[in-house]
Amino acid sequence: MTGGAGFLGSHVVERLRLRGAADIFVPRSREYDLVQLDAVKRLFRDARPDVVIHLAARVGGIEANRLNPGRFFYENLMMGAQLMEGARLAGVRKFVATGTICAYPKFTPVPFREEDLWNGYPEETNAPYGLAKKMLLVQAQAYRQQYGFSAITVFPVNLYGPRDNFDLETAHVIPAMVRKFVDARESGHPEVVLWGTGQPTREFLFVRDAAEGVVLAAERYDSSEPVNLGAGFELSIANLAGLIARLTGYSGRVAWDTTRPDGQPRRCLDVSRAEKEFGFRASTPFEDGLRETIAWFEGSGIS
């Protein structure tokens, strides 16, 4: 399983072990640079997998995408294309690819339905990353059509939870806010500055729920059609900030830096296909997930 030591991947490994999986091979980037074809070939020789779950990605928030569009496009594209081809040549029984919500068009009607994936260009700040990950879907469908290769593609919405990335240079919105509010509370700072206008909306999926969705798809789903993984709710960034401020105990002001980009205007998924096809439904109440995320960060020693 690529990315098995990462945020989502570490939780997927735990779910697999709970189901009795004993032989889980997790390649580390220092040993297998999956952007390089030779490393991909060596990985399949060493691991000899029956099923591949591809979670590895070069990823970050709006600023990381803005600063690294070429790197994010190239590395994600090469990892996905070479891994799936390697899996086909190695006779792998099933390949599970994870796309991204960033692949959807910038102005997708809400809730996002899988049929809308091709109805426009993604939001510009993360389009290179989103399009590179979207090619996993194209490759999976092409390989199923030509080779009868069992490859599926799931599209998780924004994830959050314990073990997330709290580095402010690369973090997504929830861990970035958690860190800013906790740091401001601890330092007694009277104001926290957040990006954009606060008006865009997002949907968030707790990482353990996402891991369960990935494992259920691996177990039960075998179709060329993409599947959303989400919780099916919509929340404005401003309301999210107010909620995290309350849960972290921060009582200062929130200021919005409107010179910074908002990203995609709205995000909320139609999650009915995942429930229909393989019985997945998110089960973690959002505030409960946020409390656990905040508690993990405060106990992590990250500074």
3-class SS letters over 77-146: HHHHHHHHHHHHHCCCCEEEEECCHHHCECCCCCCECHHHCCCCCECHHHHHHHHHHHHHHHHHHHHHHH
Rg (CA), the chain: 19
The candidate with the shortest Cα–Cα distance to 206, out of 230, 226, 182, is 230
Mark residue 122 as left, alpha or beta (left: phi above 0; alpha: psi -120 to 50; beta: remaining).
beta
Which H or E element spans position 195? strand 191-195
Active-site residues: which are they? 129
**What count of other Cβ atoms lies within 10 Å of the Cβ of residue 112?**
23
C-alpha 232, offset from chain centre: 16
pLDDT of residue 142: 98
**Overall fold of domain 7-298:** Rossmann fold (3.40.50)
Other CB atoms within a 10 A radius of the CB of residue 182 amount to: 19
Instruction: Determine the pLDDT at residue 122.
Output: 95
Q: How far is CA 151 from the centre of its chain?
A: 18
> Tell me, what's the pLDDT at 227?
98
Provide the residue ranges of all domains of the chain, joining segments of one domain with +. Answer: 7-298
Q: What is the pLDDT along the chain (303 residues), one digit of tens a residue?
A: 999 999 999 999 999 999 999 899 999 999 999 999 999 999 999 999 999 999 999 988 778 888 999 999 999 999 999 999 999 999 999 999 999 999 999 999 999 999 999 999 999 989 999 999 999 999 999 999 999 999 999 999 999 999 999 999 888 899 999 999 999 999 999 999 999 999 999 999 999 999 999 999 999 999 999 999 999 999 999 999 999 999 999 999 999 999 998 888 999 999 999 999 999 999 999 999 999 999 999 999 887
Q: If you search the block for the tokens 């991947």, which residue do you land on?
A: 9
Q: How far apart are CA 132 and CA 136, in angstroms?
A: 8
Beta pairing, strands 51-54 & 201-202:
unpaired
